[in-house]
Amino acid sequence: NAGVMQNPRHLVRRRGQEARLRCSPMKGHSHVYWYRQLPEEGLKFMVYLQKENIIDESGMPKERFSAEFPKEGPSILRIQQVVRGDSAAYFCASSPSGRVPTYEQYFGPGTRLTVT
């Protein structure tokens, strides 16, 4: 039973480039969440998606960030025109349901983005 998969594990981008982060949820999970962890800080929610739908993007920066979870394939977090402040660990989590109590979110290993 594979857990949540994220790739790449490490990503280096120059300022102004685009970053694409991928997340494959656990088998049978249709709910995906993205979180960001800045250096020495806690995790902050970014976006919650179900297949083909963005349910809650209240934590997403207003510009340059977008997310999708297509019918087929992984969820993608896309950051356009990256800046140094985007350097962080980006974690994806999945759950079988969005409702408590069957709500445990299982996290992937994260993608560490470094912007030079």
Partner 1 sequence: DAKTTQPPSMDCAEGRAANLPCNHSTISGNEYVYWYRQIHSQGPQYIIHGLKNNETNEMASLIITEDRKSSTLILPHATLRDTAVYYCIVRGNNNAGNMLTFGGGTRLMVKP
Query: Smallest gap, in angstroms, from Cβ of residue 16 to partner 1?
Result: 27
HEC profile for the chain?
Answer: CCCCEEECCEEEECCCCCEEEEEECCCCCCEEEEEEECCCCCEEEEEEEECCEEEECCCCCCCCEEEECCCCCCEEEEECCCCHHHCEEEEEEEECCCCCCCCCCEECCCEEEEEC
Q: Is 25 in the site for partner 1 (CB under 8 A)?
A: no
- Which listed residue (10, 15, 44, 78) binds partner 1 by CB under 8 A? 44
Q: Pattern 57-96, binding to partner 1, x per CB under 8 A?
A: -xx-----------------------------x-x-x---
Q: Which is nearer to partner 1, 18 or 52 (CB)?
A: 52
Q: Which residues bind partner 1 (CB under 8 A)?
A: 4, 31, 33, 35, 42-45, 48, 55-56, 58-59, 89, 91, 93, 98-101, 103-110
